[in-house]
Every structure is written in structure tokens, then in C-alpha cells.
Amino acid sequence: MKHYEILGNKDTRSGFGAGLLEAGKANDQVVALCADLTGSLMMNAFQDAYPQRFFQAGIAEANMMGVAAGLALGGKIPFTGTFANFSTGRVYDQIRQSIAYSHKNVKIAASHAGLTLGEDGATHQILEDIGLMKMLPGMTVINPCDYNQTKAATMAVAAMNGPVYLRFGRPKWPVFISEDTPFIIGKALMLNEGTDVSIFATGHLVWKAIEAGHILASKGISAEIINIHTIKPLDEEAVLKSARKTGCVVSCEEHQRHGGLGDSIAQLLARTEPKPQEYVAVNDSFGESGKPEELLVKYHLDTPDIVEAALKAIARKG
């Protein structure tokens, strides 16, 4: 099992803030909007550097999405900023009609995704957003795993043409992807080659998958660990190649079991070469208040849950 050094402990939202500033430097067409959460989204640096290109939308997310579409229409590259819940469910129809159907080059930056925002509880812990957004035709869906990857992803989506949902989180989290790792949209990132089970992970759970890989290695199990940062379009070739090699699959995500990364993988395998698959995901439930680590334990998204899922998947190979 490959060893990943922890390079720091930083929140992925700060990676977004840093990436946005870089994207703004690289291209003066990049603009940003925020719905009264500039500090939470770490958009202050961009706002300070480019006040003319920053729009405070107030607590009015529906309008923010429409304004972003209008800015994009004339050639700007807008990033909208608010929590993941208010970036998706609250404004689904605005995104659907004015951004996705109209194919506008808007980047929807969604912080505080999943359970790990913690104490604010279920009203703010959206676990359905990946499903909502991947259902929209033409929408790219990205969920990076650490600070460095989020920064790189932010810069990469600014450089591509088309609507993007970029999902990240609040808690400080191990940084382990090197700064110079290129971020290629739609290309899975191999973290550890293995032979017994394929673990596909996205977002915060990628680090948990690496921890699980070490435990599995101590039990003599060789886990292949692949970071799926781009959920849509899915890197089908990478998923199939790995599933074919190991013969069983575990998907890991801070999201509902319904409609998330796991379902995208299951659908691919069902269409091509079905394999035993175990889900590490929230099972048809809302979240609740608590510390991020406590929530991951309670909702079975922690390292031991990934180990257990891998053992089950291997046992089902028959």
C-alpha cells in the first residue's frame, strides 16, 4: 500500500478560495457572485483583488443563478458561491432552465457539502446534491478530495467551457495530493494499484479510503484505490479496467446511496460487466448536528466501514 504523507490540514473550501483567486488572475473574464457567505466560501481574497468583478447577491440564491447565466451569456466566466444545499435544491429550476438547458458557462461552487459541516445539522447538510446535479444534461459534477485538489479543480473548471457543479466542504482535512498533481476533468486518479478489490472514492472519503487501504493491507488484502473526483462525466474506462482486474467494487462518498457516485458506477457495471458492489454512503437518511468525525461514525462513512465493505465485496466474488 502506497504511503501518502500528510502535507497539512486544511479545508477544501480554502482550496476553492485560493483557486478562484488564481483563476481570476489568469483570466480577467472570471467573475464571482456570492449569496451573503463570502467568508464561509473563502471568496474574500477574490473580492479584495477584483472588487469590480465581484457581485454580492444577498440572500437571494435564485436571482444569483440567473444573474450568473446573464453574465456568462455575454462572455464572462461566473462562479456562484453558497452552501451546497442552497446551490442545488433551492435553485434547481433556475439552474435547469437558465444554466443547464441554456448551456451557460457558469461554475456553481458549493461549499459545506455532505455531513461534515457538522453542528448546523440536516437543514444545511445536503446529501442529495450529486444526484440532483448529475441528472442535468450537460452538467459536469466534481467533488475534489483535499485542499490542493480543490484549488487545482477550481482553476481547471475556469478554463473549460460549460456548466460545472463543484462541490467541497468545511472541515479541516488531511492534504495529501501534491501541489503539482495535474487536475484533469473526467480523468480518475489512481492512488494505489491493487488486485483484490477496487475502492472508488470521492471527496473527503478519499482519505478514509487510503486509511482503509492500510488496514486491508495489514490483513493481506491488496486494495486498488481510485479517486473519482469527476463524478460526471465518469471515467468509465478507468472504472471498468479496475473492476475487471479485481472483480469487486466499493464506492465511497459523503452522499446518499441513491443517486450518487455509487449509482453511477453500478449503472456502468450493470450495462457492461456486473460485479459485486458495496456502497459506503448514507442510506436514505437526513443528517443531524454533531462533530464531523462523530457524524461519519454514526452514518457509517468512516474508515472501518470502508474496510468492512471491502471484505463483504471480496466475499461476494464467489
Partner 1 sequence: MKSTAELQTLATQVRRDIVRMVHAVNSGHPGGSLGCADYLTALFFRYMKHQASPFDIQGKNQDVFFLSNGHISPVYYSVLARSGYFPVSELATFRKINTRLQGHPTTHEGLEGVRIASGSLGQGLSVATGTALQKKLDSDSSTVWVLTGDGELQEGQVWEAVMFAAHNKADNMIVAVDFNQQQIDGSTQEVMGLNEWTSKFQAFGWEVLEMDGNDWVSIDAVIPAAQSKLGQGKPIVIIMKTEMGQGVDFMMGTHAWHGKAPNDEQLAQALAQLPESEHGDY
Q: Does 97 bind partner 1 (CB under 8 A)?
A: yes
One-letter identity of residue 226: I
Nearest distance from C-beta of residue 133 to partner 1, angstroms: 18
Cis geometry, peptide bond prior to residue 233 (ω within 30 degrees of 0): yes
Contact positions with partner 1 (CB under 8 A) in 199-218 = none
Is residue 57 at the binding interface for partner 1, with CB under 8 A as the rule? yes
* Nearest approach, Cβ of residue 67 and partner 1 (Å): 4
With CB under 8 A as the contact rule, the residue among 36, 40, 103, 222 that binds partner 1 is 103
3-state secondary structure of 58: coil
CB nearer partner 1, residue 57 or residue 113: 57
> Minimum distance between the CB of residue 40 and partner 1, rounded to whole angstroms?
20
The answer to whether residue 27 forms part of the interface with partner 1 (CB under 8 A) is no
When the beta carbons of 69 and 269 are compared against partner 1, the nearer one is: 69
From 10, 53, 151, 204, residue interacting with partner 1 (rule: CB under 8 A) = 53
Q: Is 30 in the site for partner 1 (CB under 8 A)?
A: no
- What Cα–Cα distance (Å) separates residue 136 from each residue in 11, 99, 271? 28, 10, 20
How many Cα atoms sit within 13 Å of 252 on the Cβ side?
34
Which residues have a Cβ under 8 Å from the Cβ of 88 and sit 6 or more positions away? 95, 108, 110, 126, 128, 129, 132, 133, 165
Q: Which helix (H) or strand (E) segment is 33 a member of?
A: strand 30-34
DSSP string, 177-246: S-TT----TT--EEEE--SSEEEEE-TTHHHHHHHHHHHHHHTT--EEEEE--EEES--HHHHHHHHHHH
Q: How far is the CB of 101 from partner 1 (least distance, A)?
A: 5
Residue from 10, 13, 104, 107 touching partner 1 (CB under 8 A): that is 104
Q: Does 98 bind partner 1 (CB under 8 A)?
A: yes
Minimum distance, C-beta of residue 92 to partner 1, in the bound complex (Å): 10
Q: If binding means CB under 8 A, how many residues of this protein chain bind partner 1?
A: 32
Cell of 225: 484505490
Site string for partner 1, 153-192 (x = CB under 8 A): ----------------------------------------
Grid coordinates 495530493 are at which residue? 177
| Cell numbers standing for residue 204 | 473527503
Closest separation in Å from C-beta 141 to partner 1: 20
CA separation for the pair 262, 240 (Å, rounded): 14
Phi/psi of residue 188, each to 5°? -65, 155
The reply to whether 119 sits near partner 1 by the rule CB under 8 A is no
* CB of 72 vs partner 1, minimal distance in Å: 8
List of residues contacting partner 1 (CB under 8 A): 31, 52-53, 55, 57-58, 60, 62-76, 78, 93-94, 96-98, 101-104
